[in-house]
Each structure stands twice: as C-alpha cells, then as structure tokens.
Structure 1
C-alpha cells in the first residue's frame, strides 16, 4: 500500500514538473515572439526627445555628484564612472588610405590622414577596485588639433574630437527616464531596485539585468586585447552610426604577452606597461563604424538594443597604433586623472545623438566641473 502511494505520488510530481516545464517553454516562446514583434523595423532616423527629459537630467546630475562625494578618496575626487585608469597613452589614428568615398566624413574626410591622440583605458566602476573583479572596461579616444567649429559653444578653443566607448555593444538602460531610476537606486545602495523598482511585474527590467550581468565580464589579459563599443549613436556626415574599436594584432609586430598575475590589484596596468614600456612593442586596433539602416530595428533612442551586424556590418575607417612609450609616471598619471573626455567634445559631423548622449552632454560637464573644482580646492 505504501509503495503504491509513493509510486502514485512520484508519477503526480513527474507530471506536474512536465507541465511546469511545458508552461515555462510556452511562456519563453511567447515572450520571445512578443519581443521580436515589438522590436522590428522600421525606426526613425531622427531624434525624438520625450517630455520632461530636461528635468530628469537635472535629477541625474544631482545623483552623479552624490556618487562622486560617496567615492571620494582622501586626496582627490574621482569620476562618477570609469574611476580607475590603467593608463593614458599617446596614439596615432590613421584614416585608411583607400577609404571609400561615402565613408569620408568628418575626421575621416582625408584618406591617409594621421591624427595624434590621447587614449584613456579604464575599468568601468565608480570606485577603484581590483582588476580581477568582473567589470566593464573603457576606452576613451581624444583626437588632437581638430580644425573646425566645436559643438560646445563655450569651449571653441578645445579643438578635439572624443569617442567614448566601453566593452559591451549595448547598455543596460534604454533611455534617460530609466537611467534616472537605475542610478538613483544604486546611489542609495539598493541595487535590486535598479532593475525591479516595484512589486508590479510590468516595471521589472529582467532583460536589462541580463545585459548588466553580461557587461560585468571577467577581465581580459590586457586592455589591448578587448573590443570597445560606443553603445550610443553619433552622426556620421548625413548618416547615423555607432563606433567600434577592435584589436588588430596582424598589423603590429607579433607579440605574446607574458602571463600576468591576475591576483595583483592593477595587473591590467602592468600588462599595458609590459607591452608598451618594457618590451617596447606597439599595440594595434581598427576603428570601425556601423551605419544605421532605418528599415531595420536599429533605434537611436534605445541604447539597450544592440544593432545587429546581420542588419548592418561594421566598416573599418581607420587604424589605431599605440607606439612604445613610458606612460606610468606620477606626473603623467596626474595628467591622466585631470583629462576630461566627453562625446560632445567634437565637431558637427560626429554630433552625438539620442537620449543617453543628450544626458551625457549635461552630466559629463557638470560632474567634470565639480570634480576639478573640488580637487583644486584641496
């Protein structure tokens, strides 16, 4: 009798599990179909600014300043993101000599042109931490001696073109409204609330949580060994485009980085120094663009959507070379810390577009001004 009861209970539990599995697969299929339907082209090729964005931006500025205050060190105020640099290095950015005519836009107008540049390589976190901790990695490029009218009217003599990128193709928030909610929750130490702001399942952002978890990746062996993405779009002449930087070892002398001790807190800086300063071997990248096809689902205002390569391939427009150099000195590290990078430092041909870029214009400037004023007062 007892055996029969256990067998019936086992059969009931097995059927229940099968039903739950079937319902789960059905739910997954329906969610996938709904997402595909909601995220199908065509899309607008123009910016669409929502009501209230300016007020939300001011809220975010206050939160960003609060984060800078929270993470300050005893002798300096840090950036609100990408606080820890692996180094700022000199670079040459050469436009392809045989660049196609339709790609000759802005800083890429003159085939073969070589731009001198400063590049900052960094971790993504708002507070310096061990390089072994899962994190995003950043690359900020500043082309120097840029002719033409600058986008920021109050800084006409800057003469720069910046490209700000990090190591994942899409962002874990869609727009300014979601960014405000997310960053406020994190500043308050309520990280769960960043993606699950209420008990209402309609407010949950599980997909964006998965993007955030994927962004927090294990470290590369070296900052020169990973890809970097602009995430948000820019103008590219009359087109809209995103940028990507990819390692290009085939165009540099063959090099094998000695094994690095990942237990050391700053092993990524050590790896960069090993290649450029000790072994005197250059590092090479390609700079690429991905032009928007508005007939595909490649939105401007939602940075959580990755522009798929199957819809629009990346096209190489320039090569980047980090020559052998000594960059890890107290004076150069202080200069690196004082550098400001902003996608709005640039010219009209590469105007940043979309909500996250509009947000950056205000937040980057406000946080940079606050950080520099506080550091100068110490």
Structure 2
C-alpha cells in the first residue's frame, strides 16, 4: 500500500505543475492583451489629443514671468555646481568639440516665398561661426549617452537686433540639437523638471508626485531618445531647432542635415571611442589633418495651422507629412586648424542665443520666451564670474 501511494506522487506533481504552467501562460497572455490594449488606447488618445487646427499666434499663459524667474535662479545654481577652479561653465552644452568658421550660402534658385530675412538675397554668402558640443551641463566623456548640439552665428547681418544690448553686433544665431522634439512642453514643466534635476532627484523630473496623472511617461521616452549614443563625428548628425521661429510672416522650425554630396567624397576615420574627446578628434581629423570640408543643408519646416503643429508645446514633433522641410541655405565648413588655445578660449566665451538676431527670425513660443531671459541672465552671470577669476592685465 505504501509503495502504491508513493507511486502516485510523480503523477500528482506533474498535473500540479501542468495546471500551474497553464495558469501562468493564461496570466501572461492576459497581461500581453491588456498591455497591447493599453498601448492602443494610448496611441488613440494621443492621436485624438494631437490633432486638429492650432493657433498661429503665441498664447502666453498666466504666471509665466514668475516661473521664469524661478528657472533663472535654478540655472545659476547649476552653473555654480559645475564650475571649475578657473572658469564658470555654461548651464548646458558646456563641452565644445570645437568652434569652426563656416560659410552659409543662399541658393541662386531659391523660390520667392522662401526669400525671408537672412535668406532674402539669392547667392548671398554669410560668414559664420559654428559651435559643436555635447548637451550636458558638465563636460563628460563623449562615449556617454548625451544630446549633441550645433549653434550657428551669422556675422555682419544688417537690420535691428531683437535685443537692445546686441545693437552693435549684427548677428543671427541658430541654436539646435540632435532631436526633433523636446522632453518638456512648456515653461511650467521646464521649471519642475530642471528643479528636480538640480536637486539631484532625477526621478521627480518625470514623476513629480504619486498621482499617476502627473506622470510624464511620453516625455521620459523623448528624453531617453535624446540621450543617444555619440555619432562617429559631429559632422554626421542632424540638428533641429525644436522650438519655432518667425520666418517672415510665417512660423517655422529649422534643422541642419549633413549634405555629403556637396563635398568631395570622404569617410570619417574610425575613432577610439574609449578616449574622452574622440568627437573633437574626429572633427580635427577631418578639417585639419585630412583637410576635408564638411557640408550641410539648412532647412525650414513652415507651420500649417490647419494641422496639429503647435507653437507653445515643444514636445510635439511637427510631422513631415503635414509640412515637408525645404532647403534655404547650404553650409560649408572649410578645412581649418580650429583646435588652438586662442580659438578654444574664444569659443568658451562666445555666446549663442536664438534671440541674437533680427525680427524676421524672432523666436516664438514659451520655451523661446524662457530662453531669452535665462540665456541672458546666465551668460551675464558666467561672464562676470569668469572676468573676476581671470582679470585682464
């Protein structure tokens, strides 16, 4: 009898495990179905939310000025946190791969409706500075995931400058980074996000409370996509303005895309990505050692207010199916020796600001209104502190 009872145990446990396995399979299947349903509902919700016509003019929310002052104090705190013994760094894009000279040429055959502002004269060639950088507020190894930035400053631009303290400089700046949309929508979100990061509480940047309604999962995914692996060279990335600008009487976003077909054939040499500054090395290899130029196209995407292309929400990418990009200028970075102590110092002191420019390209939207105040305050603070640390003899 004992032998008979024990012989049944394997069969009992086998049936138990089989039932347990079936239960777990059904549970996993239900979780997959619920997950797929949740994703479908999410896509449907955002398809509904991000649809329909939008205002073609700026909409300034109440309380934005007070929030901007809070952000300025936070940005200055970040500058203080990341200062080095001999200099104060930018609050973002602190590490430059180099500042290089460039030529920005307006095509001879540019259509009449695209001849706006600095692109008004076909055949015009602007001399410019271009700064290529990492996005982090503290210089870090290039191999680490980060945003990558490009800023362009056109020189000797006629016309009245947007900022009174720029009256004698005659510049037009374009400030971009390598993702099409931003990980915050507006000034209120930016204040909450940057405040959490400055306090070292990164989780609170996208999950500010226990209330799931306050969670910003979509923006977290945008931030993760923005912090990408480094390109083989800064000359191989595409850079976006993210926020909109005036383009004559229209509203538009800018981007810069590589244009290898306009330059002699060239393959960027493989770099040792374990080195902390391999992106600068790649740039130096191309422009200085190999004496090869880099070519880009400067393009615009004009707003169609009948489509969901909002001005005030920088987390929304304007669809190319709604409005394609159009080329308004060609950019050529000639061979040059840019990596010198004098030029690197000049690069560190050079200020790029989307508000350095003329009315035809005036920045619009909440994030750009914020930039005007923050860039100016942080730049003044940083330059004043650097002047005190390194007084001119």
Q: Does the alignment reach a TM-score above 0.5?
A: yes
SS of residue paired to 1:154: helix
- Listed one character per residue, the Cα deviations across residues 333-375 of structure 1 (whole Å, up to 9, x for unaligned) are 0000000000000000000000000000000000000000000
Aligned match of 1:78: 89
Q: Distance in 2 between matches of 1:170 and 1:137?
A: 13
Structure 1 unpaired stretches of 5+: none
Distance in 1 of aligned mates of 2:234 and 2:13:
64
- Separation in 2 of the partners of 1:225 and 1:36? 32
- Over aligned residues, Cα RMSD in angstroms? 0.7
SS of the equivalent of 2:14 reads helix
Query: CA–CA distance in 1 between the matches of 2:118 and 2:317?
Result: 25
Return the match for 1:280 from 262, 285, 291.
291
Q: Distance in 2 between matches of 1:57 and 1:112?
A: 41
Could you tell me the TM-score, scaled by structure 1's length?
Answer: 0.99
Counterpart-to-counterpart distance in 1, 2:34 and 2:285: 54
TM-score under structure 2 length normalisation: 0.95
Q: Give 2:137's aligned residue.
A: 126
Per-residue CA deviation, residues 289-333 of structure 1 (Å, 9 max, x unaligned), is 000011111100000000111111000000000011111011110
Match of 2:235 in 1: 224
CA–CA distance in structure 2, aligned partners of residues 362 and 103 of structure 1: 30
Question: Which of the numbers 339, 358, 364 marks the counterpart of 1:347?
Answer: 358
What is the CA–CA distance in structure 2 between the aligned matches of 1:168 and 1:242, rounded to whole Å? 12
Between the aligned partners of 2:21 and 2:288, the Cα distance in structure 1 is: 66
Report the counterpart of residue 38 of structure 2 in structure 1: 27
In structure 2, runs of 5+ residues without a counterpart are 1-11
- Larger Rg: 1 or 2? 2
Q: What does residue 261 of structure 1 align with?
A: 272
Asked if 1:169 is matched to 2:180, the reply is yes
User: What residue number does 1:212 align with?
Assistant: 223
SS at match of 2:165: coil
Instruction: Render the CA deviation track for 1:125-167: whole Å, top value 9, x for unaligned.
Output: 0000011111110000000001001101232112000000000
Aligned to 2:9: none
- Verify: 1:360 aligned to 2:374, yes or no: no
- Aligned-partner Cα distance in 2 for 1:347–1:375: 29
Q: Which residue of 2 aligns with 1:304?
A: 315
Q: 4+ runs of 1 displaced by more than 3 Å?
A: none
In structure 1, what is the Cα distance between the partners aligned to 2:319 and 2:120? Answer: 26
Residue in 2 that maps onto 1:294: 305
Output aligned runs, 1:46-65, within 5 Å: 46-65=57-76
**Separation of aligned partners in 2, 1:357 and 1:138:** 16
Match of 2:118 in 1: 107
Q: Distance in 2 between matches of 1:231 and 1:190?
A: 25
